[in-house]
A and B are shown apart, each in its own frame.
Chain A
Amino acid sequence: MEKSHELYWKKVLGLIRNVLIVWFLCSYGAGIMFASALDKIKLGGYPLGFWFAQQGSIYIFVALIFIYAKLMGKIDEEFDVEEK
C-alpha cells in the first residue's frame, strides 16, 4: 500500500509537470516571450504571437484541463483509488 501510494503520487506529479510545461510554453512562451518572433508568421489575418496571446492560449488551457481530467481518471483506476 505504502509503495503503491508513493508510485501513484509520482505519476500524478509527472502528469501535472507535463501539463504545466505546455501551459507555460503556449501562454508565457508563445504569447509573451517569443511573441514578437512568432508575429512574423501569419495565421489568417492574425500575427501568430498576437493570436497565442489573445486567443490560442485560452483554447489550449481548456483542452489541457480536460486532458488532465481524463488522464487522472486513468491513473486513479490503475491504482484502484477512484471513487466508488
Chain B
Amino acid sequence: MSLQATIYLVVGLTFALYIGIAFWARAGSTKEFYVAGGGVHPIANGMATGADWMSAASFISMAGMIGYMGYGGALFLMGWTGGYVLLAMLLAPYLRKFGKFTVPDFFKARFYSDTATIVAVICLLVASTTYIIGQMTGVGVAFSRFLGVSNNVGVVVGMAIVFVYAVFGGMKGITYTQVAQYWVLIVAYTIPAIFISFQLTGNPIPQLGLGSIFSGSDMHMLEKLDHIVNDLGFGEYTTALPGNKLNMFMATASLMIGTAGLPHVIIRFFTVPKVKDARSSAGWALVFIAILYTTAPAVAAMARLNLHSTINTAVQSGGDVFAEEASIQYDNRPEWFKRWEVTGLLKFEDKNADGRIQYYNDKSKDPEFLAKTGKAGWQGNELSVNNDIIVLANPEIARLPNWVIALVAAGGLAAALSTAAGLLLAISSAISHDLLKNMFMKDLTEKGELMAGRIAMAAAIVGSGYLGMNPPDFAAGTVALAFGLAASSLFPALMMGIFSKTMNKQGAIAGMLAGLFATMFYVFAHTGIFYIKGTEFYQFFGGKDFFFGISPNGFGAVGAVINFAVAFAVKNMTAPVPSHIAEMVENVRIPRGAGEATGGH
C-alpha cells in the first residue's frame, strides 16, 4: 500500500473510533455536560488529563525545541510537569471538595463578588482562546503535510470531528475520546522513539538509550553529540543555557505555576468521584504525561545526531567535518529530504555554490572555529531547519516503515484535537454557566442551560476554526500570554482562596488585576501593545528582557509574586472577610462530605 493510502487508512480508523465513542457517551444533563457526571475513574481521568494536556506543541514541537536548545530545553520538561505537583497538593483536591462545575464558580462563592468572577472569566477566555489557535493551526498543519489537502480543509475536517463529540457529549464525550486519543498519541510518539533508540544505541528504551554508548563508537550518546555540535560551532548540547540561569529558573517557574492555574486542566479534576481520587488522579495524569516527556529528550538528541550525520558524513565516522567530501552533495540528498523541502520545513540555499550542503552555526563567535570554516570555503549556514521536523520527519529519517509514519500523523492529530476539545469545554462552560446561568439569566432551566452550553460550544468551535484558518500573526507568541495569565492571576487567587481564611474580595481582585497588568505590560513591551507591530516599548526600559534578563516567557512567576503581595497589602487595608466565607474555607479544607460536583447553590 502506498504511503498516502496508509496514512488515510490509519487516520480514518482513529476518527471512526472517536465518533463511535461520541455516540456511546452522549450527555443528557448539565452535570454530564460539564463534569462527565462526576463518576470518572481516577486512572481514566489521568489518561484524559494527559491527552488534554499534551497539545500539538508537546507532540510536534517540543522535541524539536529541546533538540535545538539542548540542556536549556529542560525548562519545558520540568515546567510542564512540575506544575502537577502544585496542582495535586494546592488546588485539585480542594476545588473538587468545593464541588462546583467551573473554575469561576469558585471565585463567585469564595470571593462573594461578580467582579472577581468576571476577572476570572476574562483570564480564562483569553488564556484558552490564545491556546486553542495553536491547536487549530496544528490540525491544519498535520492534515496538509500528511494527507495532502489544504490547510483550510484540514481545519474544517478537524472542527467537524470535534463538533460531533464535544457538542453532543460535552465533558462526558470529551473525556472518553481523550482516553482513546491518549493511546493513539502515546503509541505514535513512542514507537518511532524505540526504533531510533535501538538503531543508534542498541537499547530499545529511549530513556536509557540517551544515556548509552553510541553504536559503532566508544563514546556515550550525549558525549558524541557534545563533540559534534561543538565541531560545528553550536553551543555544547548538555550545558547550553537559554539566556542565563536566572531566566531558565524563572521560565521554568512560570510554566509550572501556569500549568497549575490553567482552567481546562483544573476542571478535569471535577470529574472524579472523591477528593481522594482527585489527589491520586493528578499522579496518574503525570505518569501518562511523563511517558512522553521523558521520551522527548531522547528523541530530541537522537534526531539532532541523525540529522547532523545525514548532512555531514564525517559525523558518523569521526573524521574531519571540514573536509570537502564530508558535506553531502545536494543532488544526493535522501528522499525524505525532498519530501520535506516541499513543505518549507527544510530549506537549502547554496551560498558558496559548491553543490554541497553545509549545516553549521555561522553565528559562532569562536575565532578558531570561524578560521576553520573560512579555510574550508564555507560561506554561511546553508540549511534552515524548522524545529517541527524533528518529530514529523523522524520516522522517515530513520527509515521506518510506512505504518509508523501514518501513526505519527494520527498521533499529531489526536494531540491537537484532544487539547482543543478540553479548551472548548472550558470556554463554553464559562459562557453558558458562569456568564448566562450565574449572572445574566439566573432563571435558566437545566434544559435551557444544557442547550446554551451546546450552542456556546458550537460557536466556540466555529470561532476557533476561523482563527485556525486565519491565525493572527501573533499566534506563536501567545503561549507566553496564556501561561503568564494563568500564573499571574488565576493560580495565586485560587491558592489564596483555599490557604488564607482571611483573604477578602478586595484583596483578591486587586491582586489578580495587578498580576494581570504587570504580565501584560511586560509581554506587550516586547511584542507590541496587543501584538501590534511597531508598538514595542522595551527600548524605553533599557532594551529587551529588561527585568534582570528575564524573557517574557519567564515573567508569569514575577506576576504571581506581585499578585500575592498586592492581595495581602490590600486585604489588610479593607473590611475583613464575612464569617460565613471563613467557615466555608474551613469546610473546603476537609474531604468529608464532598459528594459529587453540582451546579446548585
Contact = CB atoms under 8 A, between A and B. Distances in A.
B85 interface: yes
A46 B222 contact: yes
A69 B82 CA distance: 16
Contacts, number: 139
B276 A65 contact: no
Interface centre among A9, A28, A61, A68 (most CB of B within 10 A): A61
B591 A76 contact: yes
Contact of B77 (A9, A53, A62): A53
Given A16-B89, A27-B82, A82-B592, A55 B297 contact: yes
A31 B74 contact: yes
Interface string B264-293: 000000000011100110110011001001
B364 interface: no
B18 interface: no
Given A43-B211, A46-B211, A5 B89 contact: no
B88 A47 contact: no
B397 interface: no
A83 B238 contact: no
A54 B297 contact: yes
Interface in A1-57: 5, 8-9, 12, 16, 19-20, 23, 27-28, 31-33, 35-36, 39, 43-47, 50-51, 53-55, 57
User: Chain B, interface size: which category?
Assistant: 35 or more
Interface stretch (B244-252, B317-325, B471-479, B566-574): B244-252
Interface centre among B85, B90, B213 (most CB of A within 10 A): B85
B84 A31 contact: no
B362 interface: no
Interface in B123-177: none
A2 B84 CA distance: 31
Given A53-B71, A61-B82, A45 B283 contact: no
A83 B84 contact: no
B89 A58 contact: no
B252 A28 contact: yes
B37 interface: no
A83 B479 CA distance: 39
B350 interface: no
A66 B100 CA distance: 25
Contacts of B283: 62, 65-66, 69
Contact of B286 (A32, A61, A81): A61
Given A45-B221, A65-B283, A23 B82 contact: yes
A27 B252 contact: yes
B279 A68 contact: yes
Nearest to A67: B283
Given A45-B222, A53-B78, A83-B592, A58 B88 contact: no
Contacts of B279: 65, 68-69, 72-73
A16 B211 contact: no
Interface in B55-90: 66, 71, 73-74, 77-78, 81-82, 84-85, 88-90
B590 interface: yes
Given A44-B212, A58-B290, A65-B283, A16 B276 contact: no
Given A45-B222, A53-B77, A55-B294, A8 B210 contact: no
A8 B221 CA distance: 50
A59 B245 contact: no
A54 B73 contact: yes
B388 interface: no
Instruction: Report the 9 A-B pairs with minimum CB-CB distance, sorted nearest first.
Output: A45-B220, A53-B74, A65-B283, A44-B211, A69-B279, A54-B297, A45-B211, A81-B590, A46-B211
Interface of A: 5, 8-9, 12, 16, 19-20, 23, 27-28, 31-33, 35-36, 39, 43-47, 50-51, 53-55, 57-59, 61-62, 64-66, 68-69, 72-73, 76, 81-84
Given A46-B222, A53-B74, 15 more contacts: A32-B74, A32-B252, A36-B239, A43-B211, A44-B208, A45-B212, A54-B297, A55-B210, A55-B294, A58-B78, A58-B294, A59-B294, A61-B81, A68-B279, A82-B591
